[in-house]
Amino acid sequence: MKAIKIGNVKSEPGKINYGFIDAMALPTGTVDRIPVVIAQGNKEGPTFFLTANIHGNELTGVAVLHELVTEDLVRDLKGTIVSIPTLNPTALRLYQRHPEYQDEDPNRQFPEGRFAKPDEEDEDKKYPKPFEQVANLLYSYFEKYADYHLDIHNHSLRSVPYSILDRIFYDGVEERAEAEELAKKQLGMVEAFGAGAMITTDFPPKKYMNLKYHRSLSGAVLNTLRIPAFTVELGSNSVLIPEIVTGAVKATRNLLRWAGMLESPKEKITEYKVPIPEYRIRRIEHPRGKHSGIVKLLVGPGEKVAKGQVIAKITDIHGRPLGDGVIRTEHEGYMIALRDQMTVYPNMGIAEMGIKDEDEILSPMPPKD
């Protein structure tokens, strides 16, 4: 059986062991510690990393991992689960998105890997920021042990659960076949998670890179380490919805079945429903407002909309219409997530939609000059 040691936790066949990674020394004399659970079956199998709560106000994954990893699961398990219920303990304590010691998105701090520009003279690369140091440490464990990875997030209060297919980048014709195989495995994972989340491709390659999604945890694991991985957004942040927790636990067990780690029958997810698009969709920030004003949304998360459909009213603070008083979508598609705030500024997105994806999942590596 594969021996695994992460932080102060060691795997043992047939057991669940608990401990911590000492992640960042704090100025007050204590250490920020990341919790780790290693559950290992008595039979050989893959090592599946399950992570959650890299953004401190995204709570569902914490509960999913707590309910998933049980003695009953271990009795039937082939291989090893590495569960990290929170990747960002300081943000969980403070109930905020970012860690207390770096006010930047922690899910854009993982190593650039194959995307790095080796000849670039950048002093910041010599001195990683605090959470970059934590991210580098976490990444080293994935590099050493992981065969598969699922990272659990929440989007916003008014959002539908959805799984994200990352773009996969390749360097030249010789890498394309390997990238195609990796894409098949990623799709297999997402389909195995199944009714737990609607499936959508990520933003087009250029925007994907501009947003530094290649430096997200699952993006770095997938695109640099070439380990099958994906992110799932399990609906509303800042709250726990019991039905989504229960359904997502089932979906995650189905994912373990896909990986050959459980032999029991696939479970049906009846706790909630997500749309099943009739074509492959991708994410887009759309529609956007033309005015500063007050927005009143007329659609709900998961709803299918037609091109030209009115999805919101927009008024001034007195309640008078701005322009023609409405915001329409320029695309047919599905409403993935709706803006939480009532106020909007010019060019600001009021929703995230899923529209027909015209791009390939695979993309040539961006130029490094």
Domains of the chain: 5-258 (3.40.630.10), 286-353 (2.40.50.100)
| CA-based nearest residue to 331, from 314, 355, 349 | 355
Helix (H) or strand (E) holding 49: strand 43-52
The per-residue pLDDT for range 41-98, each reduced to its tens digit, is 999 999 999 999 999 999 999 999 999 999 999 999 999 999 999 999 999 999 999 9
SS3 27: coil
55/358 Cα distance (integer angstroms) = 30
> DSSP class of residue 340?
S
- Torsions phi, psi of 270, nearest 5? -110, -5
Mean residue pLDDT across the chain? 95
Residue 368, token pair as written in the block: 């490094």
315/63 Cα distance (integer angstroms) = 40
147/227 Cα distance (integer angstroms) = 6
With both helix axes pointing from N to C terminus, report the angle between 242-258 and 60-68 in degrees, rounded to the nearest 10.
60
| CA-based nearest residue to 236, from 361, 95, 59, 37 | 59
Residue 117, token pair as written in the block: 């520009």
173/178 Cα distance (integer angstroms) = 10
SS3 146: coil
242, 187 Cβ separation under 8 angstroms: no
185/361 Cα distance (integer angstroms) = 13
Model confidence at 119, pLDDT cuts 50, 70, 90, reads low
The per-residue pLDDT for range 25-40, each reduced to its tens digit, is 999 999 999 999 999 9
146/92 Cα distance (integer angstroms) = 25
Helix (H) or strand (E) holding 222: helix 217-223
Asked whether the predicted pLDDT for residue 121 surpasses 90, the reply is no
How many other C-beta atoms can be found within 10 angstroms of the C-beta atom of residue 80? 25
Helix (H) or strand (E) holding 353: strand 351-356
**Three-state SS annotation for 354-369:** EEECCCCCEEECCCCC
The per-residue pLDDT for range 185-223, each reduced to its tens digit, is 999 999 999 988 999 999 999 999 999 999 999 999 999
How many other C-beta atoms can be found within 10 angstroms of the C-beta atom of residue 95? 10
* HSE (side-chain half, CA atoms, 13 Å) at 212: 13
| Distances 199 to 160, 259, 344, 361 between C-alpha atoms, Å | 11, 19, 28, 13
172, 286 Cβ separation under 8 angstroms: no
> DSSP class of residue 268?
P
215/193 Cα distance (integer angstroms) = 23
Burial string for 241-278 (b: 16+ CB within 10 Å, else e) reads beebbbbbbbbbbbbbbbbebbeeeebebebbebbebe
> DSSP class of residue 114?
G
The per-residue pLDDT for range 253-296, each reduced to its tens digit, is 999 999 999 999 999 999 999 999 999 999 999 999 999 999 99
The per-residue pLDDT for range 221-235, each reduced to its tens digit, is 999 999 999 999 999
- Enter the pTM of the model: 0.96
Residue 298's contacts (CB-CB under 8 Å, 6 or more residues apart) are 310, 311, 312, 313
Longest dimension (CA), the chain: 68
- Predicted confidence at residue 35, as pLDDT, reads 98
